[in-house]
Amino acid sequence: MHTQNHTRNLVKYVLPTMLSNVAFLLFTIVDGIFVGNGVGTNALGAVNLVMPFVQIVDALYMLTTIGGITITAIRLGRGDVDGANKAFMHALTGTLFFTVILCLVGTCFAEPVLALLGADGVYHDLAKDYLIWYSIFIIPAGLSVTLQGFCRNDGSPVLVSVAVLISTACNIFGDWLMIYPLQMGMAGAAVATGISQTITFLIVLSHFLRRKGQLRIARFKPEGALWRKIAVRGLPECIAQFATPMTTLWMNRMLFQYFGDIAINAYSIICYVASFSVGIFFGTSEGLQPLIGQCYGAKDKKDMKFYFHSGLWINLIGGSLIYALLFFFGGAVCRLFGTDTETLAYTVRVMPLYAWGFIVMSFNLMISSYFYSTKRSRQADVVNVLRSFVLNTAVILLLPRILGANMIWHAFGIFEASVLIVAVVLLKRSERNGIEFK
């Protein structure tokens, strides 16, 4: 019976979360397919140059979302429903604060942002259209991400999956409508995504308006200490999310320096594939987070370990399958984006050199999630700072200078492997005398 409960929980929480994350990231992939075929190869490069801003916005969502749901899961595990609701409302208003600021930055300060991203020349106007229209929808998109996390913790992971699947279908139709019949180009792709994310927000919001679970949208007394606690708990995942934009930013600079436009356009396709892979791995960790957090709150070490090890196995299998798919069928995947013949051949050649890092990355994401779900924020911070700012920067900037330009395509896997060594050491040390329940 206990094994059946474990399996049931994995199916109930992990599978819907993986599906919803993959569907959510299909927004980006579908955009890429329509942009590549309907606007052109340089448009793919323009989207890739804007991606660090988009990914930084996504990272800041995590500060309040993951911090809030981590505290909420532990409090629900202890039976503290009132405390869980306080954490929910503080996290939700924190997300609203961040999204208003980010919306203003992306719409009112587009030119400085584009300059920082290096979006000039043939990419400038294309990138500007995408940035401004993407930014207009930041507020509903951010609130959608936060409400999805809490809806999942409030016992309705299936509703989240349904919402994301519906909005994905709307996004596909919207991309076709905006780019082809309406001829809106890059702006159309951003608008289609924004409308789809707004649909997700409205569907998930219905869970709380109908009072289906234990969490309520209600008035609350602001507590600075609780906002700080949410920020501390959410910081590891926020930092982890910075790994993608920082890696993309440094890779874009080095690829342009050594190989020019063809490498930028090829890397844009690889980034679309990477976003799909990250969706699976984050789906595993986010799906297991409520289970691990509630086990921690209930001081159930055995079940907590079971869910952690299950996550590692799921990610290992998923990462291996993705690599095999790209190794054997990379050409078919790349053709979906409608690139020119030269870019297609180049992308097919370099993609396997980059993609082996997905397997290593999947372990790092799961270990980090395990740390922050069990109040080991310091260890999670170390792992994610190394992934997001230190080792990724050092390896990407130094490796091609030392071992040759082509080694830049291996940089992703090498810095993820280096981080994994540190993560395993921290894990062993933190559990040498058993897990401390606080």
Segment 211-233, tens digit of pLDDT: 888 999 999 999 999 999 999 88
Burial track 245-284 (b if 16+ CB lie within 10 A, e otherwise) = bbbbbbbbebbbeebebbbbbbbbbbbbbbbbbbbbbbbb
Is 14 a residue whose pLDDT tops 90? no
The Cα 95–Cα 101 span in angstroms is: 10
Q: Is residue 4 part of a domain?
A: no
Q: Is residue 3 part of a domain?
A: no
Q: Is residue 436 part of a domain?
A: no
Identify the weakest region by mean pLDDT among 102-111, 128-137, 153-162: 153-162
Q: Is the Cα dihedral 171, 39, 33, 245 positive or negative? A: negative
Mean pLDDT score across all residues of the chain = 88
Q: Is residue 7 part of a domain?
A: no
How confident is residue 1, by pLDDT bands cut at 50, 70 and 90?
A: very low
Q: Which domain holds residue 93?
A: 12-430
Q: Is residue 2 part of a domain?
A: no
The Cα 202–Cα 215 span in angstroms is: 17
How confident is residue 2, by pLDDT bands cut at 50, 70 and 90?
A: very low
pLDDT tens-digit profile of 176-200?
999 999 999 889 989 998 999 999 9
Is 95 a residue whose pLDDT tops 90? yes
Is 382 a residue whose pLDDT tops 70? yes
**Span 305-309, average pLDDT:** 93
How many domains is the chain built from? Answer: 1
Is 4 a residue whose pLDDT tops 60? no
- State residue 26's pLDDT score: 67
- State residue 313's pLDDT score: 94
Q: Is residue 86 part of a domain?
A: yes
**Span 32-46, average pLDDT:** 82
Residues 20, 283: contact at Cβ < 8 Å? yes
- State residue 13's pLDDT score: 81
Q: What is the pTM of this model?
A: 0.76
> What DSSP letter does each residue of 242-310 carry, written as one string?
HHHHHHHHHHHHHHHHHT-HHHHHHHHHHHHHHHHHHHHHHHHHHHHHHHHHHHHHTT-HHHHHHHHHH
Q: Is residue 437 part of a domain?
A: no
How confident is residue 25, by pLDDT bands cut at 50, 70 and 90?
A: low
Is 205 a residue whose pLDDT tops 90? yes
pLDDT tens-digit profile of 50-94?
888 988 898 888 889 989 988 998 898 888 999 999 999 999 999
Is 17 a residue whose pLDDT tops 80? no
Q: What is the DSSP letter of 398?
A: H
Residues 90, 68: contact at Cβ < 8 Å? yes
Is 312 a residue whose pLDDT tops 90? yes
The Cα 53–Cα 106 span in angstroms is: 9
Q: Is residue 121 part of a domain?
A: yes
